[in-house]
Structure 1
Amino acid sequence: MGYWVVDDPALVREVLLDPQTFRPDNAVLAHTPLSVKALRVLSGVGFALPPTLANNAGESHRPIRAAVARFFSPARVAAVEPLTRELNAARVTAASKALADGQEVDLVQAIAAEPPALVVLHLLGLTNVDVPALKAWSLDSLELFWGWPDEDRQLELAHSAAEFYAWLRARTTAARKAPGDDLFGVLVGLGLTDEEVCAVGYFLLIAGQETTTQLISTAFQRSLTASAPPADPTRSVEQVLREASSVPTWRRVTAHRTTIGTTELPARAPVLLGLTGHNGPADLAFGLGIHRCLGAGLARLETRVALESTTDLLISARLVEDPPMIDLLSFRAPARLVVTSTAV
């Protein structure tokens, strides 16, 4: 794979807590080198991802993270639970009716896909966002940066990423003309460059919702294939995080010659960390230290609410196929979960 792989949770913890030795410089680099044609498409919109959050171990990281963290404070996250329940309830009702009418339903698209996006946009103060477009941009960007696309597929994905980036540029420009208290207004107020604002928005708007959709989808899959329905949704969420989180790996690169456990690594050695599925704590799925996921509490809340809202539906549904998977270097989840009612 081209990485030094670290699966021992104790060693993963050591790596994550030492960002000066194990730097995040490669955290958002394309796993498959981009073709000249793909790079040309991206450069056409000024696409750039300078160090901001996940890929930043410098002095600018702290103020950027502090500004974004305020949108995800425990109080603000707790306050969106009623909205989360409302969004899930409407979709569960529609899915249940469709199943009762004898239709097949994809639980990913019908329930898991949109609520996380709508909730994070609400928290960030962003309105007039095309949610289906955001979902498509997100999946395409994850494949472009963490997948194995050939040159033809890269070109398709690059056009999608360029479209997303152009949208981010437009929102940034609008925020400079009329600063507000939404995400873009706050980032502009920090004195960040356009490229830095867009870089924060690019991955925050993906990570803030698509990884949660994937976590919910995995929780649904495990419930559908379990011998008995989960009795405690909170415990079920923690079990998914320990065993099969939607973000199973993350990357680091050594700043200099160093040692992990008893293994010596050279300088600039790419490291792949196993975050889940290796008997580690559930919290490890969100990382540790200065780069711990800012949306950990929100992801837990949204997945718990999704499981609570679908308890009856999941009991009375069955999968009609072996679900195809999103299977990327650092992202894994069912791409769809097509079910039918067991009563039909």
Structure 2
Amino acid sequence: MSTETLLERINAYASRADPYPLYTELREHGVARQNDGGYLVGTYHEIAALLHDPRISSDVRLRTVPDLSGRPKDLPPSFIGIDDPEHDRLRRLAMRPFGPPHSPGRIDALHDDLVDIARELLDGLQGRDRIDLVDDFAYPLPVTVICRLLGVPREDMPEIRGWTNTIIASLDRSPEDDPQGRQRAGAEARAAMGGYLGALAERRREHPADDMISALVHDDGPEGRLTEPELMTTLTLLMIAGHETTVNLITNGMLTLLRHPDALERLRREPELMPSAVEELLRYEPPVQMLPQRTPLTDVDVGGVTIPQGAPLFLILASGNRDPLRFEDADHFAPARRDNQHFGFGSGVHNCFGAPLARLETQVALAELLRRLDGPRLVEDPPPYRHSPILRGPRHLLIAGGVGTGDGKR
């Protein structure tokens, strides 16, 4: 089959359960020109170089393929969709209340709260012989955390989920089921979420609380405050990115462990390996499989292939993570793997803003699941997957076996 259809085949829903043979095909060619004039890159070292190359733009306003971000036209792009110096300014403003150097202890201080939330969720599942890991655990854990961080009331979480699902569905590049309709719905959902968060920020101007929204609207740092449109866009990004990829990371992680019972039992015996195991999960089954279009600002040579200025460029991160020229036994899941510089959180100036939080949430989530699940078994393998080829993960993950107390009792 022609490599010029690789992106089309990767995007097809039939490939969602196992896209890795297609990534192997891509790596055999290194760079694959597509029949629409776009280019795919799937080898580790070439992806790494391009992620750090200032000639490669992330600006959504330069894209030639349809903008699937669902961005309302009256709002600016978020900082992940623009280049420096705008990107650097907005990212640093958003980072001030989130992490170092200005708020160095915010994420580490969440550890005990995370354990409490995870245990409360699992306590509520006792007595059941079957759970849906997504709906019952992997979604409510990170969304509860990001809502607490930002200061979003708990009673508004269902509305947040509805908007988020619509926005993520708009990222689906497959032609089925009215893609233009999905994109319109995504733009409307982003506008609604942005308006909601903007109104919440306005209330925090008058009545500040101990949350990130209050910190952002009252921050008088050297670069001033975010404008109202920038604030709405940034808060929407933090809300979605603050939980969506972590849902997939937890779910993909548990699915992988259930498929590798020896690794699961080893982590039960050696819980100190969990941080290393999470890094391996980020390599082996990353929640973000590829980056939306990047745009070369000039002709760029990649592996002996000239990618023309302005051509759509797609970096297949999950393919780079399985490159045997970079990782020994790359298709093998090794929870104690060393030298694991994966692309699970990207790389370069656009590396994932929330990586420290996602790591901590997943470490706690999987540790508590291994402690509490009683003889867990997959009900269906492969499980049904979400449609998005970019944010890949099961839509549901049914697990049989029940939830215990953690001390061997049910």
Is the 1:219–1:240 Cα contact (8 Å) retained in structure 2? yes
Match of 2:375 in 1: 316
Structure 2 match to 1:335: 395
Aligned to 2:116: 86
Which structure would you say has the larger Rg? 2
User: How far apart, CA to CA, are the structure 2 residues paired with 1:7 and 1:52?
Assistant: 26
% of aligned pairs identical? Answer: 28
- Aligned partner of 2:243 among 201, 205, 209: 209
Query: Which digits, 9 at most, give the CA deviation of each residue in 1:182-229, with x for residues without a partner?
Result: 444444453333221111112221111111111001111112222332
1:291 pairs with 2:369: no
What is the distance in 2 between the residues matched to 1:202 and 1:29?
A: 21
Paired residue for 1:117?
A: 143
Take 1:303 and 1:282, find their aligned partners in 2: how far apart are those partners?
18
Equivalent in the alignment of 2:32: none
Q: Which runs of 5+ in 2 are unaligned?
A: 1-6, 8-35, 268-272, 327-339, 404-409
1:278 to 308, 322, 337: 322
Q: Does 1:233 align with 2:286?
A: no
CA shift for structure 1 position 68 = 2.0
Deviations 1:241-266 (A, max 9, x none): 11111001113211121212211111
CA distance, structure 1, for counterparts of residue 142 and residue 67 of structure 2: 30
Distance (Å, rounded) in 1 between the aligned partners of 2:341 and 2:61: 21
- Could you say if the C-alpha distance between residues 218 and 154 of structure 1 is closer, same or farther in structure 2, counting changes exceeding 3 Å? same
Q: Does 1:167 align with 2:176?
A: no
- If the length of structure 2 is used for normalisation, what is the TM-score? 0.72
1:109/1:336 contact within 8 Å kept: yes
For residue 77 of structure 1, the aligned residue among 83, 86, 107 is 107
Deviates more, 1:212-221 or 1:189-198: 189-198
Q: Which amino acid aligns with 1:284?
A: F
Q: CA deviation at 1:144?
A: 0.9
Kept in 2: contact 1:318–1:342 (CA 8 A): no
How far is 1:273 from its partner?
1.1
Structure with the higher fraction of residues in helix conformation: 1
- The answer (yes or no) to whether the contact 1:255–1:268 under 8 Å persists in 2 is yes
Secondary structure of 1:75's aligned partner = coil
What CA distance in whole angstroms lies between the structure 2 residues aligned with 1:314 and 1:30? 48
Single out whichever of 231-240 and 150-159 deviates more from structure 2.
150-159
- Are 2:63 and 2:312, in contact at CA under 8 Å, matched by a contact in 1? no
Secondary structure of the corresponding residue to residue 170 of structure 1? helix
CA shift for structure 1 position 89: 0.7
Between Structure 1 and Structure 2, how many residues are aligned? 330
More moved, 287-296 vs 156-165: 156-165
Shift of 1:287: 1.5
The aligned counterpart of 1:108 is: 134
> Take 2:152 and 2:80, find their aligned partners in 1: how far apart are those partners?
22
- What is the SS of the residue equivalent to 1:105? strand
Q: 1:221 aligns with which of 244, 251, 255?
A: 255
For the 8 Å contact 1:219–1:236, the answer to whether it is kept is no
What's the offset of the Cα at 1:121? 2.8
Is 2:252–2:393's contact at 8 Å kept on the other side of the alignment? Answer: yes
Cα separation, 2, equivalents of 1:172 and 1:76 = 20
Query: d(CA) in 1 for partners of 2:171 and 2:209?
Result: 31
* SS in structure 1 of the partner of residue 118 of structure 2: helix
Whether the 8 Å contact between 1:218 and 1:244 is mirrored in structure 2 is yes
SS at match of 1:326: coil
Between 207-216 and 123-132, the greater mean CA deviation after superposition: 123-132
Match of 1:14 in 2: 49
Corresponding position of 1:23: 57
Letter in 2 for 1:4: Y
User: How many Å apart are 1:181 and its aligned residue?
Assistant: 6.6
User: Deviation at 1:305?
Assistant: 0.7
Name the CA distance, whole Å, in 2 between partners of 1:301 and 1:335: 22
In structure 2, the residue corresponding to 1:247 is in which secondary structure?
Answer: coil
